[in-house]
Amino acid sequence: MKKLVLAVSVALLAACASPKQEQIDFAPQATMSAAKIVEGKSFTLSSKDVRTAQYVALLDNGRSNITPVHSKQNVRVSLENLLTQQFSSQGYHVTVNSSNSLKLELQEALVSVRHSVMENDIDGNVTIELTAENAKGKLVKTYNGTAKRSGVMSASDEDIATVLNDTVSLVLKEIANDQELQDYMKERF
């Protein structure tokens, strides 16, 4: 019994001593419409995260040590909420039982960071696919965003979060201002 208690104690102490996994805040901004573009149109919003890994950043310090960084928030759920806000500001109602559907597929949301004590290079890539569909047809659009940032000293969590959030915010702005998507949804929904 003493050996079991000792083994459990050692395991717990080792777990407490191991470094915490880094996390950043995922807080992009929705692009809100100043005026409603539709009245009384609704759709069902669904989302899927098809990224191969759930981390949002990879830190490479150049010494064969690459560290993944995760988001404090669920990226898929956050994007779904942001799109709901955007489309609601345009006059759409997001419901659970509409014959119109909008599907969000998160294909990539990754910031690659190469840094040393003296400098850092940050590259962000975001890819989102939207599918607007109902009995009248289907429109599939892919939105890409990229960002690059360089600086002195090593990159901070805030630097990484800024690049990721700004890149996602730009993609959301592109979705909000996509005239083809707006026209399709106005005509068919």
Among 58-62, 115-119, 144-148, which range has the highest average pLDDT?
Answer: 144-148
Residue of 150, 172, 168, 146 lying closest to 159 (CA atoms): 150
Bridge partner residues of 41 (DSSP): none
User: Is residue 163 included in any domain, yes or no?
Assistant: yes
Instruction: Report the CATH number that the domain containing residue 35 is assigned in CATH.
Output: 3.40.50
Torsion angle defined by CA atoms of residues 53, 127, 45 and 82, in that order, rounded to the nearest 10 degrees: 90
Q: What's the pLDDT score for residue 15?
A: 47
User: Is residue 3 included in any domain, yes or no?
Assistant: no
Residue of 117, 35, 44, 118 lying closest to 80 (CA atoms): 44
User: Is residue 158 included in any domain, yes or no?
Assistant: yes
User: Is residue 68 included in any domain, yes or no?
Assistant: yes
User: Is residue 14 included in any domain, yes or no?
Assistant: no
Phi, psi (5° rounding) for residue 21?
A: -75, 135
Phi, psi (5° rounding) for residue 10?
A: -65, -45
Q: What is the pTM of this model?
A: 0.85
Band of the pLDDT at 63, cuts 50, 70, 90?
confident
More confident residue, 152 or 113: 113
Q: What's the pLDDT score for residue 33?
A: 93
DSSP state of 129: E
Cα–Cα dist 163/157, whole Å: 10
Name the residue range of residue 166's domain.
22-188
**Angle between helices 75-89 and 157-176 in degrees, nearest 10:** 40
Query: What mean pLDDT comes out for the span 54-74?
Result: 90
Number of domains in the chain: 1
User: Is residue 6 included in any domain, yes or no?
Assistant: no
Torsion angle defined by CA atoms of residues 93, 97, 100 and 102, in that order, rounded to the nearest 10 degrees: 70
Query: What mean pLDDT comes out for the span 142-161?
Result: 91
Query: What mean pLDDT comes out for the span 173-187?
Result: 96
Q: What's the pLDDT score for residue 56?
A: 96
User: Is residue 125 included in any domain, yes or no?
Assistant: yes
User: What Å distances lie between residue 90 and 9, 18, 70, 134, CA to CA?
Assistant: 57, 48, 32, 19
Q: What's the pLDDT score for residue 143?
A: 98
User: Is residue 73 included in any domain, yes or no?
Assistant: yes
More confident residue, 124 or 116: 124
**pLDDT tens track for 69-109:** 999 999 999 999 999 999 999 999 999 999 999 999 999 99
**Quick one: 166 exposed, middle or buried, by C-beta within 10 A (0-12, 13-18, 19+)?**
middle
Q: With pLDDT > 90 as the criterion, what percentage of the chain qualifies?
A: 74
Lowest mean pLDDT among 61-65, 83-87, 133-137: 61-65
**pLDDT tens track for 1-54:** 665 555 555 555 544 444 456 799 999 999 999 999 999 899 999 999 999 999
Q: What's the pLDDT score for residue 21?
A: 63
End-to-end Cα separation, the chain, in angstroms = 68
Residues with Cβ within 8 Å of residue 129, at least 6 apart in sequence: 104, 105, 107, 140, 141, 142, 143
